[in-house]
């Protein structure tokens, strides 16, 4: 349905910076759906963007405008009375670092917070880092927490992070680009709703776990006025709430983000949700999570494989062989060589597609199930392929 909608959108070819035409109202409806799904108030504002990277850049630009203590639009950061700091873990997505660099703060302003054994941000270490920075005269701007890390699907203790942010007047941005749609599930819904309740901004990618074709990212900011003040070039004295009966319609989307030229991303999101319903998306996401659990169970039950980490629909593992030739301990170099070879042959062979990552210095294979057509038979095929290639290598 999303592919069909994308073709329609290309044929219609509207400019979605603003105005009073159908595409604008479709996007506003999508924004309302996501705002309600994430539990944000009517006073918030959302925007469809290319993906998590642009969503994060947009959100942190608002954080800079609100928390830097200087008129950054007029003077930039050159008159800042103190250095700045941001907080994220090594498991946080690199798009946050890119955004911080592009916003003029530099990567040296990032404090990398350690993680616990489950790859979640350590809140005690975050508290210590904030206290140290305050004592040194450094001004904290934002914490970037994650609801579903790319590597392992880990969800930070965002409620506890939010409490710290409120105590220290720090912006909280939640990267839920991958994991956010799990809010629809029975298992994660309550936890994520509580987590997002304390966030100033959230990034969500419908093109990841809502089965929409790329590009379809989403950012929402709790304070719509701050978002508009960050980007709008319409003088305040002629700003208005807009009117659906006027030629120019409601306030333009280009006042809430960087893009002036904006395509009709909303139609494929709107039609996917109308076609599947939130109930349909919920069922598909829950099935993906169940399949990841099945994959983890298969790995645990297979002596030649080692489960390293799992969360949401991500499973990280590696081939360790068996018997006296087990690829563990002193054979770590062999384990890396063999698992790299498995990854290459599996991807090029076309039977299954997985990726790799490093966890605590170890090279591991990473499966992420985000296809609504995946089945247990696909998981079994993956296991058989890994074992076959591993034995051959």
Task: Indicate the pairing of strand 305-311 with strand 362-368.
Answer: unpaired
Give the integer Cα–Cα distance in Å for 207 and 69: 35
In order of start, what are the domains of the chain with their CATH numbers?
A: 2-277 (3.40.640.10), 302-392 (3.90.1150.170)
Locus of tokens 């660099």: 101
Do residues 7 and 274 touch, judged by C-beta distance below 8 A? no
CB 177 within 8 A of CB 51: yes
Enumerate the H helices of 318-392 as residue ranges.
332-349, 376-392
What number is the average pLDDT over the span 314-326?
A: 80
Res. 212: pLDDT tops 90? yes
Mean pLDDT of the chain: 94
Q: What is the pLDDT of residue 324?
A: 45
What is the rounded distance in angstroms from the CA atom of residue 337 to the CA atom of residue 319? 11
Stated as kind and residue range, the H or E segment containing 106 is none
pLDDT for 236 = 62
Distance CA 322, CA 306 (A): 11
Q: Which residue has the tokens 């054994």?
A: 117
Write out pLDDT tens, residues 169-182. Answer: 999 999 999 999 99
Say which range, 77-81, 113-117, 360-364, has the weakest mean pLDDT.
Answer: 77-81
* Confidence check: pLDDT of 217 > 90: yes
Q: Residue 255: pLDDT above 70?
A: yes
Question: From residue 209, how far is each of 6, 35, 284, 345, 369 by CA, in Å?
Answer: 18, 17, 9, 27, 9
Average pLDDT of the residues in 347-363? 93
Report residue 329's pLDDT band, with 50, 70 and 90 as the boundaries: low
Q: How many CB atoms lie within 10 A of CB 236?
A: 8
Model confidence pLDDT, tens digit, residues 138-177: 999 999 999 999 999 999 999 999 999 999 999 999 999 9
Q: What pLDDT score does 14 carry? A: 96
Torsional sign, CA 27, 269, 223, 259:
negative
> Does residue 314 register a pLDDT over 70?
yes
Q: What is the pLDDT of residues 54-95, one digit of tens each?
A: 999 999 999 999 999 999 999 999 888 899 999 999 999 999
HEC per residue, 300-323: HCCCCEEEEEEECCEEEEEECCCH
């Amino acid at each position: 349905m999303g592919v069909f909608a994308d073709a329609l959108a290309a044929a219609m070819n509207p400019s979605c910076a603003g105005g009073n035409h159908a595409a604008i109202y479709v996007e506003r409806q999508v924004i309302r759906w996501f705002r309600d799904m994430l539990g944000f108030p009517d006073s918030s504002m959302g925007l469809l963007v290319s993906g998590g990277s642009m969503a994060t850049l947009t959100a942190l630009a608002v954080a800079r405008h609100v928390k830097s203590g200087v008129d950054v639009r007029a003077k930039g950061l050159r008159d800042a009375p103190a250095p700045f700091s941001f907080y994220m873990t090594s498991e946080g997505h690199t798009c946050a670092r890119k955004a911080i660099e592009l916003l003029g703060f530099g990567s040296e302003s990032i404090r990398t917070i350690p993680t616990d054994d489950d790859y979640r941000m350590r809140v005690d270490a975050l508290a210590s880092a904030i206290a140290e920075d305050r004592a040194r005269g450094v001004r904290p701007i934002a914490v970037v927490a994650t609801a579903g890390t790319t590597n392992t699907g880990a969800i930070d203790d965002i409620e506890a992070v939010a409490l710290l942010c409120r105590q220290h007047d720090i912006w909280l941005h939640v990267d839920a680009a991958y994991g956010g749609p799990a809010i629809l599930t029975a298992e994660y819904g309550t936890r994520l709703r509580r987590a997002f309740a304390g966030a100033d901004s959230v990034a969500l990618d419908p093109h990841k776990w809502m089965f929409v074709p790329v590009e379809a990212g989403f950012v929402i900011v709790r304070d719509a006025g701050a978002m508009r003040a960050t980007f709008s070039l319409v003088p305040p004295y002629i700003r208005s709430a807009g009117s659906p009966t006027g030629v120019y319609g409601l306030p333009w989307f280009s006042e809430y983000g960087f893009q002036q030229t904006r395509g009709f991303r909303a139609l494929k999101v709107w039609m996917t949700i109308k076609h599947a319903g939130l109930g349909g998306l919920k069922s598909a996401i829950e099935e993906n999570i169940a399949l990841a659990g099945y994959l983890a169970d298969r790995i645990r039950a297979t002596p030649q494989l080692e489960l390293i980490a799992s969360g949401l629909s991500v499973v990280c593992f590696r081939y360790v062989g068996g018997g006296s030739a087990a690829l563990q301990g002193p054979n770590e170099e062999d384990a890396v060589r063999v698992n790299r070879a498995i990854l290459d042959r599996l991807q090029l062979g076309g039977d299954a597609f997985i990726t790799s990552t490093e966890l605590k210095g170890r090279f591991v294979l990473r499966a992420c199930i985000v296809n609504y057509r995946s089945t247990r038979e696909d998981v079994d095929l993956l296991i058989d392929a890994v074992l076959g290639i591993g034995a051959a290598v």
